[in-house]
Amino acid sequence: MNELVFFINNVIITGSVSGSIYAIGAVGVTLVFSIMRFAHFAHADMMTFGAFMVLLLTLAFPGAGGAVGLPTAVVMLPLAILLTAALAVGIDRAFYKPLRAHGVKPIVMVIASLGVTLMLQGLIRLFAGTGGQRLYIDDRKEIFRLALPFEGARAPIVVTEPQIILFILTIVCVVSLHLFLSRSRLGKAMRAMSDNPDLARASGINTNLIVAVTWMIAGGLAAIAGTLLSLDVTFKPDLSFFLLLPIFAAAIVGGVGHPYGAIAGGFVVGFAETLAVFNWGVLLRPFRDSLPEWLAQAGSLSFVGTEYKIVVPFVLLVAILVWRPTGLFKGKVIT
């Protein structure tokens, strides 16, 4: 029983946490991809930027959370979302729009977004230093221990406060995104533009507005994902290159340009990562006596060590590109 609890703590919860973060990040990437038709490499740094804004605001108003009963960082999140959305639109105006006007190839936009990545990284590190910082400044991280109503289950299931906030926020994001895309006029226009930009323009859709809205949504989602990640662990300015791969893998696994696919892909990548680093020997422990000796003796039965975690999204990415390049949900843009 304890082994099962261990499994739930280490796989189900950890996997859902990283899955949610990747899902929110991948939705932004995939939206940008479907409207602007390029892989936006600066997304991970927009996440960092959002988290950094939260950090600054939390430092500026440390008492704000106590009044509402939530961590200050969460209270400051809407403001950070606005700031990051503004940043995303500003970046687009300053760096991507001129290139789009020149009609460059998508891959040049990719390079431009790498340039933006480096600029953001440089600025964030210049102001935030290179070390990690906690987003919980005044308030304490609450930890909930749920004891299981079973015989012999001594270890409780452990969930922390930010993780619960993260689950709630993920559900809110997904539902509101779904409503936006399927019900609102703007959302429908966005889908039309992702299906066929020329036709959308010809039928009178204001493409500039759509582009701006896409960046706002992508920026806002990036801020949420970055903040949630930093709440769960710590704020680190140099995460971006490690985040990029899982997020892109999630977007591609789900099918590029497919928001629901990106959510599914995020969870696939998140769970694949945690399952791969999980030590399967733990689950075999109750059956130790009935196992062959070589299996019972094996120390750690995990697929990859935590230091090689980044291999997992890469393997997923390669596998999906080899077998099903359109992704699980039949994304659009391939060649």
- Give the residue among 126, 140, 78, 124 at the shortest CA–CA distance from 235: 124
d(CA 135, CA 60): 12
Considering the rule CB under 8 A, would residue 99 count as an interface residue with another protein? Answer: yes
- Give the residue among 332, 27, 34 at the shortest CA–CA distance from 190: 34
Cβ proximity to another protein, 79 vs 304, nearer residue: 304
Binding test (CB under 8 A) with another protein, winner from 136, 248, 271, 278: 248
Considering the rule CB under 8 A, would residue 116 count as an interface residue with another protein? Answer: yes
Least separation, in Å, of the C-beta of 178 and another protein? 26
Considering the rule CB under 8 A, would residue 322 count as an interface residue with another protein? Answer: yes
Considering the rule CB under 8 A, would residue 287 count as an interface residue with another protein? Answer: no
In the chain, what is the straight-line distance between the N-terminal and C-terminal CA atoms, in Å?
50
| DSSP-derived secondary structure for 77-140 | HHHHHHHHHHHHHHHIIIIIHHHHHHT--HHHHHHHHHHHHHHHHHHHHHHH-SS-B-S-SSSP
159 φ, ψ (degrees, to nearest 5): -130, 135
Binding segment toward another protein, per CB under 8 A, in 105-113, 139-147, 158-166, 216-224: 105-113
Considering the rule CB under 8 A, would residue 59 count as an interface residue with another protein? Answer: no
Considering the rule CB under 8 A, would residue 110 count as an interface residue with another protein? Answer: yes
Query: Who's near 44: CB < 8 A, 6+ residues apart?
Result: 25, 117, 239, 240, 241, 243, 244, 247
Cβ proximity to another protein, 16 vs 30, nearer residue: 30
Binding segment toward another protein, per CB under 8 A, in 5-13, 206-214, 266-274, 315-323: 315-323
Binding segment toward another protein, per CB under 8 A, in 2-10, 74-82, 164-172, 237-245: 237-245
Considering the rule CB under 8 A, would residue 308 count as an interface residue with another protein? Answer: yes
Cβ proximity to another protein, 125 vs 191, nearer residue: 125
Q: How far is CA 200 from CA 35, 195, 246, in A?
A: 11, 8, 32
d(CA 260, CA 316): 18
Binding test (CB under 8 A) with another protein, winner from 23, 55, 120, 166: 120
- SS3 state at 157: strand
d(CA 279, CA 304): 9
Considering the rule CB under 8 A, would residue 321 count as an interface residue with another protein? Answer: yes
Considering the rule CB under 8 A, would residue 291 count as an interface residue with another protein? Answer: no
Binding segment toward another protein, per CB under 8 A, in 178-186, 189-197, 212-220, 314-322: 314-322
Which residue in the block uniquely carries the two structure tokens 């796989």?
11
Binding test (CB under 8 A) with another protein, winner from 144, 150, 241, 287: 241
Question: CA-based angle 76:80:86, to the nearest 5?
Answer: 155
Cβ proximity to another protein, 60 vs 321, nearer residue: 321
Query: Who's near 47: CB < 8 A, 6+ residues apart?
Result: 25, 222, 223, 225, 226, 229, 239, 240, 243
Q: Which of residues 6-35 bind another protein (CB under 8 A)?
A: none
Q: Which of residues 68-97 bind another protein (CB under 8 A)?
A: 95
* Binding stretches for another protein (CB under 8 A): 38-39, 41, 95, 98-99, 102, 104-108, 110-112, 114-123, 125-126, 129-130, 241-242, 244-245, 248-249, 252, 298-301, 303, 305, 307-308, 310-311, 313-314, 317-318, 321-323, 325, 333-335
